[in-house]
Amino acid sequence: MPDHQTPSNVRIDFKSPLVLDVDYTITVDAEAFEGVRITIVDGSAAMMRARLRFRSGDPESVGLPENGIAPLRDSRGLKTTDFERMPAFRGAYAPARAAYQELLSSLGIDRRAWGDGLPMAVLCSSYLTGMELPGESAIYSGLRLNILGPPPQVPFDYEIALDSYDSRFGMVKSRFTLGTESAIWASGDISAISRPAHHRGVASCPAAGTGRFAGKSAIIIGASRGLGAAMALELVAEGGTVIGVYSRSQEDANELLAASRNLPGRLIMERGDASDLTWCVALRGRVRAELGALDLLVCNAAPAIPSLRVEEACYDRILAYIGKGLALVGAPLSALLEVISAPGGCVLTISSSAVEEPPAAWPHYVAMKAAAEGLVRTAAVANPKVTFCIARPGRMLTDMSDTPIGRLDAEAPQSVSRRILEHAWEGTASGTVLLCR
């Protein structure tokens, strides 16, 4: 921070999501116009770019309340129709004194050197984006901020109004002011992406089928959302007993159970870590005791996909991802193969079309899926009485593709599920591997 200077103008652009426990590199370059450029990079990829300008004056601090002040405790759930009405919101904001000071300390920000104008304006802009506009669905992507001085009093008033909305990509631009009845001390523009509401299985529950899976049983690893949830409901609709394995999404699991109640089959949700061989062996014991044998094992789970590259900065994360993802196939396969009915039993592994057309930022995901396919093909050689299927679906409309570009040409999980299960039901000669999309 330059001596006897205070921040007056800030521009921040988020290029990619920043995540915890990653050692990013931060570069700071001084500029001729009395400012600095800051870049946060992950190897060769810029994650965030910022520009700060300063004006003459000493940074000032203000008194803070013991308790934080903000009008909302739950974020607004705005829909497309709400954006069409060009909403605007007002309120008062102040961070809690102890929490504010702890945050600055954890970030290494010297409050005496920087003052409160910039930190409070940025904090408030984050509140406005995540709580007010667009609210619950927000991904914060950019900030343009002008600071005229420190907050004259705390709490201070804010007003935020929608400036434009592009429904094709969910792009939201808003303008805001921070101040009092007599003066504005900061103003700016916020860019954000409004993601569509999360759609769970309840809205797309299939009708009862023809009973082609009646009297049969299946385990689906990764069953609470997306393709796994669609497959679970499809099999239960066909009269089967399905054990759906999930790790964290309890609310999704509960809604999936509710959706299955009027279907002819039975759904049992099991929470656990399917990458843990010990847990999978215990599951095998319960399967033997309750079902006797298993007709279908679906390995569908995979870790969330960050953007990585084949370079030094990403190498450890690539290895960790491959290990975790491969374990989500290898552990269930190793523990449960011996309870697959033979002949006639089937192992269905969900791979990806990315194996054929690799995205540049997914080396870890492509390598993991290719390794899982190799594992399955080898298991097919050693287990000639079991049918093995590998599915390589394309882009699906799930949480993993919930971005403006990701939603383009994405197929509904329900239609992918029906197509893949049709291939699995048709089957091939035992001991061979069926590839489908």
| CB-facing half-sphere around the CA of 380: CA atoms within 13 A | 22
Q: Which residue has the higher pLDDT, 175 or 61?
A: 175
Q: What is the pLDDT of residue 409?
A: 77
Q: Which pair of tokens denotes residue 111? A: 């409050």
Which residue, 226, 2, 7, is CA-closest to 116? 7
| CB-facing half-sphere around the CA of 114: CA atoms within 13 A | 17
Which residue, 169, 173, 164, is CA-closest to 191? 173
Segments making up each domain of the chain, as ranges: 59-194, 201-436
pLDDT in tens, 97-121: 999 999 999 999 999 999 999 999 9
Q: Which pair of tokens denotes residue 284? A: 């095998």
Average pLDDT over residues 371-390: 94
Is the per-residue pLDDT at 280 higher than 80?
yes
Q: Which of 203-207, 212-216, 268-272, 284-288 comes out lowest in average pLDDT?
A: 203-207
| CB-facing half-sphere around the CA of 382: CA atoms within 13 A | 10
Is the per-residue pLDDT at 240 higher than 90?
yes
> How far, in Å, CA of 288 to CA of 336, rounded?
10
Average pLDDT over residues 235-259: 94
pLDDT in tens, 134-176: 999 999 999 999 998 778 789 999 999 999 999 888 899 999 9
Q: What is the pLDDT of residue 201?
A: 43
| Strand ordering across the sheet containing 88-93 | 25-31, 35-42, 45-56, 5-14, 138-147, 184-194, 171-179, 156-166, 88-93
Q: Is the peptide bond before 332 cis (omega within 30 degrees of 0)?
A: no
> How far, in Å, CA of 155 to CA of 151, rounded?
9
Q: Which residue has the higher pLDDT, 34 or 185?
A: 185
CATH of domain 201-436: 3.40.50.720
CATH 3.10.129.10 corresponds to the domain 59-194: yes
> How far, in Å, CA of 365 to CA of 320, rounded?
11
Confirm if 176 and 187 have CB atoms less than 8 A apart. Answer: yes
Q: Which pair of tokens denotes residue 133? A: 């506009």
Is the per-residue pLDDT at 318 higher than 90?
yes
Q: Which pair of tokens denotes residue 376? A: 């399955």
> How far, in Å, CA of 256 to CA of 269, rounded?
9
Q: Is the peptide bond before 155 cis (omega within 30 degrees of 0)?
A: yes
List phi, psi (to 5°) of 206. -75, 160
Q: Which residue has the higher pLDDT, 199 or 85?
A: 85
Q: How far apart are the first and last CA of the chain?
A: 56
Q: What is the pLDDT of residue 149?
A: 79
Is the per-residue pLDDT at 204 higher than 50?
yes
**Long-range contacts of residues 49-54, Cβ cutoff 8 Å, at least 24 apart:** 49/12, 49/13, 49/15, 50/10, 50/11, 50/12, 50/13, 51/9, 51/10, 51/11, 52/7, 52/9, 52/10, 53/7, 53/8, 53/9, 53/10, 54/2, 54/5, 54/6, 54/7, 54/8
User: How are beta strands 45-56 and 241-246 bridged, if at all?
Assistant: unpaired
Entry pTM: 0.87
